[in-house]
């Protein structure tokens, strides 16, 4: 059984640890955030304590002397440096617990979508416009203003599809005029409201898992993207989805995402061996053929790339099969992690070899290594 630190030490022999320190705030700012247990920095960086071998969120209640602390921009960097996750603050679930001021802002927007929040009100929440802007850009790939606008427009599209009149939609979403609504709607969806019945968008949410945060995208027909993410990768993940599907990306949920949320919880608890959430794996005919075959690999088993090529009837196309495997955009549900090298060695994985090893361990034993086994 492998723990995170054990996996990290194994991977150091074949994967160079490249840590972009320019992505971090200044050392002084991080020290101040860690000393004040500032939750608004959760996900911006991680705090690792040399004397205990543990890494934490900045908001973790545990305390350590600053001379024993180092900082990392991502979970992966901390793991590959040999640190294990804290059992008090659970840094692998960093996106699961929102700072109180973020929760308050979101609740206000849900209650009154057209509410204008002033700088003075933000200061009452013990934050600033700059921090709000940075936090939403880092966690949602957009500013708070853009996030509010996206929520309103997604709600408007849902109402239009349900048969609401334009007057009702404009009034319900508190737009000052029909022309202003049409302009905002057309800018996001590419068509005016009257032509939007066939329009789609990618609903996106960040779901917490024991292996870190997943950015999940869903269109009306099903899940179209699942990717491991962190603060540094988030904008790249959004750009990839936007480029591939050509749809607007809105920070909302839908019934496919909520169904997936429940299934992932059961999967990581070792209680689910087959997903039922509908998928929309958009690719070339060859890629989709490979991805379809991947879904036929039974839970708890692995096959080689050679075997995968044979199963699709193209035994000489091993390299092309490997490329298609690497282009899979729906991690876990299209189980590319179940494909290994011909010699039994684990090969590349979008989420990192350490995650691939843990997924296979979960499927082999029905459980992930416990915190007690992470040595």
Q: Which residues are annotated as a binding site for Zn(2+)?
A: 56, 60, 86, 89
* Residue list, annotated binding site: 56, 60, 86, 89
Helices 144-161 and 129-140, interaxial angle, to 10°? Answer: 50
Locus of tokens 């496919």: 256
Identify the CA nearest to 80 among candidates 22, 2, 18, 20: 18
Q: Report angle CA 19, 232, 106 to the nearest 5 degrees.
A: 145
d(CA 14, CA 121): 51
266 a catalytic residue: no
Nearest Cα residue to 186 out of 147, 168, 160: 160
Quote the tokens at residue 320. 């092309």
Catalytic residue among 56, 148, 224, 266: 56
The answer for residues whose C-beta is within 8 angstroms of residue 163's C-beta and 6 or more apart is none
Interior CA angle at 351 toward 234 and 248, to 5°? 35
For the chain, how long is the longest CA-to-CA vector?
66
Cβ–Cβ contacts within 10 Å for residue 233, how many? 16
Say whether 224 is catalytic: no
Who's near 168: CB < 8 A, 6+ residues apart?
Answer: 159
Q: Cα–Cα distance between 316 and 314 in angstroms, integer?
A: 6
Q: Which residues are catalytic?
A: 56, 336
């Amino acid at each position: 059984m492998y723990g995170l630190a054990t996996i990290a030490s194994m991977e150091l022999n074949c994967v160079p640890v490249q840590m972009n320190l320019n992505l971090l705030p200044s050392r002084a700012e991080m020290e101040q955030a860690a000393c004040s247990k500032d939750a608004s920095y959760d996900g911006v960086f991680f705090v690792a304590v040399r004397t205990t071998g543990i890494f934490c969120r900045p908001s973790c209640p545990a305390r350590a002397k600053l001379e024993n602390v180092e900082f990392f921009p991502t979970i992966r960097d901390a793991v590959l440096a040999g640190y294990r996750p804290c059992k008090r603050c659970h840094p692998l679930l960093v996106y699961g617990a929102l700072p109180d001021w973020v929760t308050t802002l979101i609740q206000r927007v849900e209650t009154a979508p057209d509410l204008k929040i002033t700088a003075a009100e933000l200061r009452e929440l013990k934050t600033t416009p700059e921090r709000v802007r940075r936090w939403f850009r880092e966690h949602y790939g957009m500013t708070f203003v853009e996030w509010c606008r996206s929520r309103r427009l997604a709600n408007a599209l849902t109402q239009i599809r349900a048969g609401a009149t334009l007057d009702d939609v404009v009034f319900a979403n508190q737009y000052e005029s029909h022309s202003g609504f049409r302009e905002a709607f057309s800018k996001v969806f590419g068509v005016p409201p009257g032509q939007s019945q066939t329009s789609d968008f990618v609903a996106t949410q960040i779901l917490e898992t024991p292996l870190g945060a997943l950015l999940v995208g869903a269109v009306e027909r099903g899940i179209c993207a699942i990717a491991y993410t962190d603060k540094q990768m988030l904008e790249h993940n959004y750009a990839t989805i936007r480029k591939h599907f050509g749809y607007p990306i809105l920070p909302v949920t839908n019934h496919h995402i909520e169904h997936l949320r429940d299934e992932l919880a059961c999967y990581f608890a070792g209680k689910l061996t087959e997903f039922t959430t509908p998928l929309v794996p958009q690719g070339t005919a060859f890629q989709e053929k490979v991805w379809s075959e991947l879904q036929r690999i039974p839970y708890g088993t692995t096959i080689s790339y050679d075997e995968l090529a044979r199963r699709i009837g193209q035994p000489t196309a091993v390299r092309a099969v490997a490329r298609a495997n690497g282009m899979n955009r729906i991690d876990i549900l299209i189980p590319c992690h179940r494909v290994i090298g011909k010699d039994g060695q684990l090969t590349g994985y979008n989420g990192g070899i350490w995650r691939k090893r843990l997924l296979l361990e979960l499927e082999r034993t029905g459980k992930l290594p416990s915190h007690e086994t992470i040595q």
